[in-house]
Structure 1
Amino acid sequence: MRSLMVAVLAVSGCGKLEQVGRAPEFTGLEGTDQHYAMYSAALPEDVPAGAASDGSSLWTAGTDSLFGDRRAAQRGDILTVVIEIDDSASISNSTGRSRNGKINGGVTDLLGIPQKLDGALPDGASMADAVNMDSSSTFKGQGSVARKEKLTLRVAATVVEELPNGVLRIEGQQEVRVNFEMRELIVTGYVRPNDISRQNEITYDKIAGARIAYGGRGQITDVQQPTYGQQVADIVMPF
């Protein structure tokens, strides 16, 4: 077990050593769903009878027309996802419980039996006060949660799949490298074509199953993270 752990740490360390003095590399788009969607053949557009075939008419049904619908509608189309998150939550709970109990029991007369037993009992003991019990319990609990998040971003996403019910599956990925730090933004989810605005935009709250990731990688991120040894120790150590 120890040798396996050492080997894993060594391999992880070698991966980091290869990046010494180098900026983080961009993630390749080749082989992704976006790549295949972009290079797939588009469906033919319906052109009304009598319309000009060269696309010069204002009344053609294509997206190149002045009055055409430019909203994303099929695989390979691009739309803009608007992310404007400004959420805050505050929860405070308080619980209190208290209980007191007291039991007294005794036998004063029962065919003279208590009197006979009193003689056999130690001094001060009597069947007239055979049972005397007191109980008390108190519980108090209090908890609070305070959270505030604000994020404003815009990212272009690609329609990578058209589902049988007409819903579109979208994926968007954006990477910006500044010096030796890479900023990453990833958006995936499902949208209805009717929710896409005339500006070919959709807000994040209309994306079903939305998965939004915003972070980075690079030298600054590495410094902010604990080392592999510390992470392993936090998991393995029982205290």
Structure 2
Amino acid sequence: MMKPKLMLVALAFAGCGKLEQVGRAPEFSSLDGSNQQYAMYSATLPEDAAPASDTDASSLWAAGTDSLFGDRRAAQRGDILTVVIQIDDSASISNSTGRSRNGKQTSGLPELMGIPQRVDAMLPDGASLANAYESSSSSTFKGQGSVARKEKITLRIAATVVEKLPNGVLKIEGQQEVRVNFEMRELIVTGYVRPADISRQNEITYDKIAGARISYGGRGQITDMQQPTYGQQVADIVMPF
């Protein structure tokens, strides 16, 4: 377990990191060295294609993605597609539990070869082995809980194909940052998509992304004010009550 002095030092260093941002807007995350940059600069696999003749070069029906009617959907590493996020979910759960139990026990020894009668004569007034002991118990429990939530998000983000798996599935990653004054809005999406699910407009909806990881949040002065201080967070963890 961390000693109190070491904990104070750690909190002090964490606070110093925040002090460096005083009067400054949040910095953008660098894309250098990211999977998106690697996919962009990596050469794609060569495609087998027959040499085009002079007639094919001037035809409107020429093959390839650069032709007038070519398929421009993302298919290779480094290609870009648009992810459409339209979440409008609501859930309502209500549970109720009730439990009740009653118990009663009585034990006595009214007759046993005259022994109880002889013992009763030596006991204080009112005491008798005929009713040695009597006990009763009762317990009641009631519980009730409910959950109601509603989420609605409408976003669009450009994602990059960072890897093409052997089975043809595409792994995509997208990151978007918008800074307004001293607040940074961040949107991140990752997951796996099938090329067949990409529309002719080179778009795909979030519900067709396998293993989708969507993060929408921010960082900056407003976000910091909405979070409890480090001391309060530590107190909430340490305090048992």
Q: Does 1:83 align with 2:85?
A: yes
CA distance in 2, matches of 1:55, 1:45: 18
Structure 1 residues 24-71: Cα deviation after superposition (integer angstroms, max 9, x where no partner): 221111100000000111223343576669854333332112222221
User: Which residue of 125, 128, 131 maps to 1:126?
Assistant: 128
Q: CA deviation at 1:157?
A: 0.3
The alignment's TM-score, normalised by the length of structure 1, stands at: 0.89
Does the 8 Å contact 2:56/2:62 carry over to 1?
no
User: Which residue of 145, 148, 158 maps to 2:150?
Assistant: 148
CA distance in 2, matches of 1:233, 1:133: 45
Q: Does 1:14 align with 2:16?
A: yes
Alignment of 1:201-220 (within 5 A): 201-220=203-222
Alignment of 1:182-193 (within 5 A): 182-193=184-195
Does the 8 Å contact 1:46/1:61 carry over to 2?
no
Does the 8 Å contact 1:51/1:59 carry over to 2?
no
Q: CA deviation at 1:195?
A: 1.6
Q: CA deviation at 1:225?
A: 2.2
CA distance in 2, matches of 1:94, 1:181: 43
Query: How many aligned positions are there?
Result: 239
The alignment's TM-score, normalised by the length of structure 2, stands at: 0.89
Quickly say closer, same or farther: Cα 1:101–1:5, change in 2 above 3 A: closer
Provide structure 2 residue ranges, at least 5 long, that are not aligned to the other structure.
Answer: none
Could you say which residue in structure 1 is the equivalent of 2:72?
Answer: 70
Quickly say closer, same or farther: Cα 1:236–1:104, change in 2 above 3 A: closer
Alignment of 1:18-37 (within 5 A): 18-37=20-39
Let me know the Cα RMSD of the aligned residues: 2.2
Alignment of 1:92-131 (within 5 A): 92-131=94-133
Does the 8 Å contact 2:63/2:70 carry over to 1?
yes
Q: Secondary structure at the match of 1:31?
A: coil
Could you say which residue in structure 2 is the equivalent of 1:135?
Answer: 137
Q: Secondary structure at the match of 2:211?
A: strand
Quickly say closer, same or farther: Cα 1:160–1:53, change in 2 above 3 A: farther
Quickly say closer, same or farther: Cα 1:98–1:2, change in 2 above 3 A: closer
User: Percent identity of the aligned residues?
Assistant: 79
Q: CA deviation at 1:104?
A: 2.6
Q: CA deviation at 1:223?
A: 2.2
Could you say which residue in structure 2 is the equivalent of 1:172?
Answer: 174
Amino acid at match of 1:177: R
